[in-house]
Amino acid sequence: MVHLIEQDFGTFNKDPVKKFTWQTKSGVKVSVISYGAIIQSILVPDKSGQLKDVVLGFDDLQGYVDRNTPYLGAMVGRCANRIRGASFQIDGVMYQLAKNLSGHDHLHGGIVGFDKVNWKSMVDGSKVIFSYLSKDGEEGYPGDLLTNITYEVTDAGVIQIEFTATTTQKTVVNLTNHSYFNLAGHEMGADEIYNHVISINADKITETTPQSIPTGGFVKVGGTPFDLRIPIRLGDAMKQGQNLFDDNFCINTYGNKELNFVSRVNHPQSGRYLEVHSDQPGVQLYTSNFLPSPDEPALIGKSGVGYRRHAAFCLETQNYPDAIHHPNFPSPILKPGEIYRHRVTYSFGVVKHLNEPEVIGY
């Protein structure tokens, strides 16, 4: 049986922040905090049984409140990723959003997005349900939006997340989790990120401008640095182009209403691997390009570790970015009476020997 414990993790605006930790028989240990519904740590054994924390983050609440501009581990909403011009129209009505990206675009829900609020929490057996009511007009979005996030960790070392939301007016919704992974350990930096081997189940990406705003077109990955259909060393893929990666990959098997294979990443030296499945049409592969460069002060994270550019990768399952402006993209509009749903699983495992069959769990 999975063991779930609840602890205090400080206070935010005089409200208690809770930390929930799952301990599994496989050795995987996962902690989530109510502030931002953030995944704070994931401990995973390597092929020799050594536990390491494989996500970037902070040891205390103040770190998340004061320094989490990169959204480490955070729940992102109402709308993950970018919205061109920080505005959109629904039924002829224009809505102006917070311009928190380059002074004219909108990113990850705005200035005070879902990552910067303390969510209400409830334990249901081995599940933890986080709830937040975003009021009409918050960050410019229409409608009262009630969002629930359910976290559960299985004995096999699988993190299961389900996002649901309902609204009182037509609005835009695109939720995701923004965890930064380094399967060698959160402290190991770019050198070990380059040694990860990655594959993504996508034949195309959404084409973007130099400012990473979708044009509405698509680019086939064949013959490009974005062809990750066959496993490739991440460092070798990143060397093939500039500013790689911060791109939305279009999942091939989307539309069958089941959880689809999204990506597999493994770290050969430790034996750890991660598989991602979701029911969303896209995934943003981001290699932490905007963490501090070597000539800038590092972002100080857990255990005093300095995080820098390319210290981790993100796999953010999502609708296509800026979908509200592109009718050929899956619609991001949620209507009253409908339920937004998004399911994703992060499955951790280990390969102890090179010739050993690879299986989920331990």
- Catalytic site positions: 178, 316
Q: How far apart are CA 158 and CA 165, in angstroms?
A: 23
Q: Is 179 annotated as a binding residue?
A: yes
Taking the mean position of all CA atoms in its chain, how far away is CA 356? 30
Q: Is 155 annotated as a binding residue?
A: no
Q: How far apart are CA 154 and CA 23, in angstroms?
A: 9
Burial track 156-187 (b if 16+ CB lie within 10 A, e otherwise): bbbbbbbbbbbbebebbbbbbbbbbbbbbbbb
Q: Is 13 annotated as a binding residue?
A: no
Q: Is 267 annotated as a binding residue?
A: no
Q: Is 178 annotated as a binding residue?
A: yes
Retrieve residue 324's tokens.
């509200």
Task: Specify burial of residue 350 (Cβ count, 10 A radius: 0-12, 13-18, 19+).
Answer: buried
User: What stretches of 109-199 show up as alpha helix (H) in DSSP?
Assistant: 189-193
User: What stretches of 157-228 show up as alpha helix (H) in DSSP?
Assistant: 189-193
Burial track 76-86 (b if 16+ CB lie within 10 A, e otherwise): bbbbbbbbbeb
Q: How many CB atoms lie within 10 A of CB 323?
A: 27
Alpha-carbon distances, residue 313 vs 149, 171, 250 (angstroms): 23, 30, 18
- Binding site, annotated residues for beta-D-galactose: 81-82, 178-180, 246
- Binding site, annotated residues: 81-82, 178-180, 246
